[in-house]
Amino acid sequence: MTSYRQPGVVLTDRRFTVPLDHSDPGGERLELYGREVVAAARATEELPWLVYLEGGPGFGARRFIGPQAWLGRAVRDYRVLLLDQRGTGRSTPRNRQTLAPLGTPRAQADHLAHFRADSIVRDCETIRAELTGGAPWSVLGQSFGGFCATHYLSTAPEGLREVFITGGLPSLDGHADDVYRAAYPRIQRKVEAHYTRYPQDVAQARRIAAHLADHPTTLPGGHLLTPEVFQSLGILLGGGDGSHQLHYLLEDAFIKAGDRHELSDAFQEAVRAQLSFAGHPLYALLHEAIYGQDERPTDWSAERVRAEFPQFDAATALAGDAPLLFTGETIHPWHFETDPALRPLRETAELLAARTDWAPLYDAKRLAANEVPVAAAVYHDDMYVDTAHSLTTARAIRGLRTWVTDEYEHDGVRAGGPRVLDRLISLAQGEI
């Protein structure tokens, strides 16, 4: 282990080994990485552990500098483990480079089937036994991390001291189609709110999409920018300052070169940075698989369901005078054609989309008998996780306390500094 300091905290690099397939403990192993964080003033104390599960799927735990955001509140009471979930960050990362040696797309897809919430929770239980000596620990799950925490409550509640969930209460029995059928109207509301705030962006977005329809553009690094890819910038609208980020991105799109206007290098580079999956390919590969629980394939759900909402079609919007609607947290087959980080994985993605043997993730009976203190922040009109689905699940988990708020968007646990986690700790511990 290596320990080092940042302002106000002591950090320790920790590594663990776990089976790829927990039902085959003697088979292939993975290395996992976690960053322990403790307040410098409490570094030698015996403190309860809190493990943080990042959103995604496909993102390693956030890299904080000192006690930023919610972490400052957490280290007042806990020794924190910022866990890079399997396949992310420094935990045996999975991408086009590391999957290629597995050989065929079938082998890659079978391998990646072990990277969902069920395996992540089994990893946590293996790590918990090593770190706490068997004592229960607390879990903070953001977004997909909340999905993992809900699975944890369904399968291993004995390992849990308390659970905090932010923007991450999943539907317990909904198919991916149900998720996206609820998502598109929500996305449209976010886009319309953006255009109300920045009415000049209506014409600018149409202008950019029309330019791309006539001149598909290859961005630095080989990313192909089409109208559909451009629309996916709407993923920004799910964050607290995302509307402002999108506006500033759009306003500098064009530059005059001689007697014509073209997309500026600065715009192209900024778009590439926003849209590339090079740093988190599992997000694209497994995004719909996190909803798989029965014999029905996900089958590119977001793409199929989008056809039920023709107002999102760029060509239709450009042919008339309707505003161009951005999309949000949706993955489409063309992502694996336009993004160079994903192109080698297209067949693998097809096999995952066709898979029909996903194991159930949630146990409704066990959740109804829950005895673990649980508190969840539910954002009033969360673009990424449907509020109605979240509240239905909240009612299904015995003893869960909710804080429903419209003060924050999906990134509230980060944007709100210590406030969101502080409120959830108070709720779970019965202080309010």
Q: Annotated active-site positions, please? A: 143, 357, 410
Residues 96, 101, 103, 105: what is their CA dihedral angle, to the nearest 10 degrees?
-20
Burial pattern 369-405, b for ≥16 Cβ within 10 A else e, equals ebebbbbbbbbeebbbbbbebbeebbebbeebbbbee
Among 6, 311, 375, 323, smallest CA distance to 194 is for 323
CB atoms within 10 A of CB 41: 12
Task: Output the CA angle 56-57-60, nearest 5 degrees.
Answer: 75
Q: What are the C-alpha distances in Å from 59 to residues 25, 53, 63, 202?
A: 25, 10, 11, 32
Q: For residues 302 and 367, is the Cβ–Cβ distance under 8 A?
A: no
Q: What is the DSSP letter of 46?
A: -
Q: Which residue has the tokens 């003033």?
A: 41
Token pair belonging to 362: 């949630």
Max Cα–Cα distance, the chain, nearest Å: 71
For the four alpha carbons of 248, 251, 256 and 260, in that order, the dihedral sign comes to: positive
Element (H, E) at 273: helix 265-275
Among candidate residues 429, 415, 385, the one with its CA nearest the CA of residue 174 = 385
Cα–Cα distance for residue pair 333/350, rounded to 1 Å: 8
DSSP letters spanning 176-189:
HHHHHHHHHHHHHH
Backbone angles phi, psi at 282, to 5 degrees: -65, -25
Residue type, 222: G
Handedness of CA 414, 417, 418, 424 (dihedral sign): negative
8 A C-beta contact, residue 126 and residue 16:
yes
Specify the DSSP element, H or E, that contains 34: strand 29-39
